[in-house]
Structures are given as C-alpha cells and as structure tokens.
C-alpha cells in the first residue's frame, strides 16, 4: 500500500467515524419514527422466506403477502390477548403471591439471621435487610409504569408497523430489478452482488433468530404447563423476547422463571428442579447447538460488544432498543464483512477473529471467480 493510499484509507475511516456519530444522533432524535420502521423491516425479513416458499407453488405474490400478513396479525393478536390476560391475573392475585413471598423470606431470614417483622410486608422486610437505599416498592412501581408505557407505545404503533411491512413485502418482489437498475458502469455487477449477499444473509439471520426464539418460547411454555406453573404464557413470551439477547437474555429468562417456580412450589423441590433444568436445557441446546448449526457459519458477537450495544441501544430506544440491539449489531457486522474497507470493524465486533477472517477469504474467492468470469466474457 502506497503512502497516498494509506492516507486515503485513514481519511475514509475518519469520515466513517464522524458519519456513525451523526447517524446515532439522528436515530436518537427520530426514535419515535425510526423504531416502527426498524420493527417493520425485521418482521418483513422474518416473513419473506414464507412468502417466497408460497410463491414457488405458483401463487400470486400479492396473494401470498395478504395471507401471510393476516395469519401473522391473528397470531400476534391471540398472543397479545393471552399475555395481557395473564398480566391482569398477576395483578389481581398480587396479595396471594406477596404472602407466599413473605413465608419464603421468613424461612431464609430465620436461617441466615436477616431482619424480619411479621407485621410488615415482604417488601418492607426485604428493604430493611438490604438497606434503606433499596426501596423495593418504588422500584417495582417504576418498572411496571415503564412496561405499561412501552406496551401502550407498541399498541399505538402496531397499525403503522403492519402497513409498513406489508408494503415492504410487496416491494421485495422487485428489489433485485431495482438494484440492477440503480447501479451503472463497471462496478454495477460487483455492487449488485455485495448488496444481494448482504440482503440474503440478513434475511437468513433474522428469520432463523426469530424462529429459534419462537421455539424457545414454545418449549418453555410447554415445560411450565407440564408442572402446572402459573402464567405459562407469560414465561414463554418472556423467553421468546429475551432470546434475542444472547447469553444475558437467557440468564434473565431462566432466572426469573426459576424464581417464580420457587415462589409457587416451595417447599416441594421436584417441580422447581424440573423448571430450572428444563429452561436451562432448552436455552443451551437451542442457543449453543441448533442455532449455530442452522446458521452454517459464525455470526457471534463479542460479549463485551453485546454489553456496550445493550447500553447504547437501550439508552437510545429504551427496552425496545435493548431487544433490537444484538440483531442490529449482527446486521452491521454482516455489512462490514461484505465491504473490504470495513473488515477491521467486523473483526472488532466479532467473537472469534479467525472465523471472521474465513468469511473474508470466502468473499474474496467469490470475487475472484466473478472477475475471471467477466474477463473471459
């Protein structure tokens, strides 16, 4: 690399860095507009393989989009109704669970000499043991208020999201033709292949991640149903949502479900052990064995990068940002893998540098084959 090329590359990296800061600033300011668009794009990536599969049996593309959208909306409505009903039941039976909390806390308080007052509530006793700075009641009220605000926001935007991904699915039928017409000159084929490869990999990743998360939620729901754990739908939905956050999401899902199993079944150990073992096994098998095998190559993100992205996207977009953080980061990594100038960024985002370098080698070999084919032509 000559001195001029090195300077040009450094300038390019500086411009990319500045553009990235400006982009995140714009995304923060326009969150109310951008979030529904991002969710609609994600859903369209999930449903696109199904629409294409139906198209192979010679059904009209528009018909496929309408049928898939109707089924998807019905499924979301049914699931939302079940989750909402379960949450209402939890609130109505709060006193029952608090008394059970209190009895369990009394058992452990006597065992470990923690502060306990039988005339006070569970939260009062727990706060007295942890210290006055931990006001448990206020913390839970704030959390419930935040969740309610997010739910209202999601419900308000559902119609917009559905309309957006319907039109996105319709547009994707002619995306290839648009890409071919958008670029001209000698770089036309190369740019088309890069964009095409990015689209294929992103659609594949998002759809696989969605259905693996769905399988995780269904299996944990089934495990909860088998032993009679209350609010099985909530725990299944919780596992489905948190599965989009690798490692940390699974830990929170398993931990919360296990704690509730302890609350409901204490002092009987068998159902508690079943829930702990079942939820742990489901997350390990699907997350560590089945998902990587289906993906076919490593899309792993560094654990440190995951924490940083969870903080960044959570600060920008709240709880929705935390759920979308890892999928968006993987999409960024896929884009960087396909653009030679951004290969260093892909390596920094990745978990295993050698796996990322193998992807670069594969892309370079494909590019050489394409160039040789063009030269022969």
SS3 350: strand
How many Å apart are CA 330 and CA 10, to the nearest integer? 25
> Would you say residue 294 lies in a domain?
no
Consecutive H or E run containing 123: helix 122-130
* Residue 140 pLDDT: 54
**Which residues make Cβ contacts (< 8 Å) with residue 114, sequence separation at least 6?**
105, 108, 125, 129
Query: Total structural domains in the chain?
Result: 1
59-63 — which CB contacts under 8 Å span 24+ positions?
A: 61/170, 61/173, 62/170
As a whole number, mean pLDDT of residues 319-331 equals 85
Of 81, 83, 82, 53, residue with least CA distance to 67: 53
Does the pLDDT of residue 366 top 70, yes or no? Answer: no
When pLDDT is averaged across residues 75-103 and rounded to a whole number, the result is: 76
Please indicate, yes or no, if residue 67 is contained in any of the structural domains. Answer: yes
Highest mean pLDDT among 95-104, 132-141, 186-195, 334-343: 334-343
pLDDT of 134 above 50: no
Q: How far apart are CA 127 and CA 123, in angstroms?
A: 6
Q: Are 125 and 109 in contact (CB under 8 A)?
A: yes
Please give the sequence-ordered ranges of beta strands (E in DSSP) within 11-52, or none if there are none.
none
The residue count of the chain comes to 377
Smallest CA-to-CA distance from 31 within 270, 307, 313, 263 is with 313
119 pLDDT more than 60: no
pLDDT of 3 above 60:
yes
**Residue 43 forms part of a structural domain:** yes
**Crossing angle for the helix pair 61-92 and 232-242, nearest 10 degrees?**
120
Per-residue CA distances from 106 to 88, 166, 206, 257 (Å): 27, 54, 46, 21
User: For 167-185, how does the pLDDT look when each residue is reduced to its tens digit (9 = 90+)?
Assistant: 888 888 777 677 677 666 6
State the DSSP H helix or E strand holding residue 15, giving kind and residue range, or none if neither: helix 3-29
Average confidence score pLDDT of the chain: 78
> Domain for residue 163, yes or no?
yes
Which one has a higher pLDDT value, 365 or 174? 174
Q: When comparing pLDDT for 165 and 100, which is higher? A: 165
pLDDT tens, residue by residue, 24-75: 889 899 888 888 888 888 888 888 888 888 888 888 888 888 998 899 889 8
Over residues 11-29, the mean pLDDT reads: 87
pLDDT per residue as tens digits for the range 246-269? 778 889 899 989 988 988 888 788
* Residue at 258 is within a domain: no
Distance CA 345, CA 305 (A): 12
Does the structure show a pLDDT above 90 at 220?
yes
Does 2 score more than 90 pLDDT? no
Answer yes or no: is pLDDT of 297 > 60. no
Return d(Cα 283, Cα 212) in angstroms, integer.
10
Binned at pLDDT 50, 70 and 90, residue 133 comes out as very low
SS3 113: coil
Cis before 267? omega within 30: yes
Has residue 306 been placed in a domain? no
Looking at the chain, the number of H-run helices and the number of E-run strands are: 15, 0
**Integer Cα distance of 215 and 207 in angstroms:** 12
Give the residue-averaged pLDDT of 9-32. 86
Q: Which contiguous run of DSSP H or E holds residue 237?
A: helix 232-242
pLDDT band at 219 (very low <50, low <70, confident <90, very high): very high
Cβ–Cβ under 8 Å, residues 126 and 136:
yes
Of 28 and 136, the structure prediction assigns the larger pLDDT to: 28
User: 115-129, 164-178, 313-327, 347-361 — which one is most confidently predicted on average?
Assistant: 313-327
Which pLDDT score, from 0 to 100, does residue 240 have?
92
Residue 377 belongs to a domain: no
The CA distance from 91 to 358, in Å, is 52
78 burial type by CB count under 10 A (0-12 exposed, 13-18 middle, 19+ buried): exposed
pTM as predicted: 0.74
| More confident call, 372 vs 110 | 110
Among 3-12, 58-67, 241-250, 367-376, which is the least confidently predicted range?
367-376
pLDDT of residue 129: 53
pLDDT category, 299, cuts 50, 70, 90? low
Structure confidence at residue 371 as a pLDDT band (50, 70, 90) = low
User: Which pLDDT does position 139 carry in this prediction?
Assistant: 56
What pLDDT score was predicted for residue 322?
86
Query: Is 335 contained in some domain?
Result: no
Strand partners, 206: none
> Which residue range is the domain that position 163 belongs to?
26-173
CA 225 – CA 248 distance, rounded (Å): 24
Query: Apex CA 200: angle with CA 372 and CA 36, to 5°?
Result: 145
Give 227's pLDDT tier (boundaries 50, 70, 90): very high
């Amino acid at each position: 690399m000559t001195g001029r090329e090195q300077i040009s590359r450094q300038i390019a990296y500086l411009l990319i860095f500045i553009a990235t800061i400006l982009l995140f600033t714009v995304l923060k300011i326009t969150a109310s507009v951008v979030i529904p668009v991002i969710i609609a794009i994600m859903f369209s990536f999930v449903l696109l393989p199904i629409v294409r599969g139906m198209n192979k049996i010679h059904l009209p593309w528009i018909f496929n989009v309408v049928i898939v959208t109707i089924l998807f909306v019905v499924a979301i409505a049914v699931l939302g109704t079940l989750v909402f009903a379960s949450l209402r039941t939890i609130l109505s039976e709060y006193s029952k669970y608090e008394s059970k909390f209190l009895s369990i806390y009394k058992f452990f308080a006597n065992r470990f000499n923690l502060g306990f007052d039988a005339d006070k509530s569970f939260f009062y006793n727990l706060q007295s043991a942890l210290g006055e700075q931990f006001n448990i009641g206020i913390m839970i009220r704030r959390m419930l208020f935040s969740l309610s605000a997010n739910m209202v926001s999601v419900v308000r935007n559902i119609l917009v999201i559905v309309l957006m991904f319907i039109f996105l699915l319709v547009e994707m039928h002619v995306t290839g033709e648009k890409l071919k017409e958008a670029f001209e000159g000698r770089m036309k084929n190369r740019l088309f292949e890069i964009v095409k490869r990015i689209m294929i990999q992103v659609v594949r990743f998002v759809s696989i991640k969605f259905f693996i998360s769905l399988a995780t939620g269904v299996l944990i729901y089934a495990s909860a149903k088998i032993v009679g754990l209350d609010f099985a739908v909530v725990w299944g939905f919780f596992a489905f949502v948190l599965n989009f956050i690798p490692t940390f999401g699974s830990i929170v899902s398993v931990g919360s479900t296990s704690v509730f199993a302890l609350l409901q079944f204490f002092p009987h150990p068998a159902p508690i052990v079943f829930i702990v073992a079942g939820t742990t096994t489901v997350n390990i098998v699907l997350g560590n064995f089945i998902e990587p095998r289906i993906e076919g190559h490593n899309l792993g993100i560094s654990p440190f990068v995951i924490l940083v992205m969870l903080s960044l996207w959570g600060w920008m977009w709240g709880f929705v940002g935390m759920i979308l953080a890892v999928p968006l980061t993987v999409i960024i990594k896929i884009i960087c893998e396909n653009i030679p100038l951004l290969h260093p960024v892909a390596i920094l985002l990745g978990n295993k540098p050698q796996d990322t370098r193998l992807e670069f080698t594969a892309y370079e070999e494909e590019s050489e084959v394409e160039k040789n084919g063009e030269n022969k032509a």
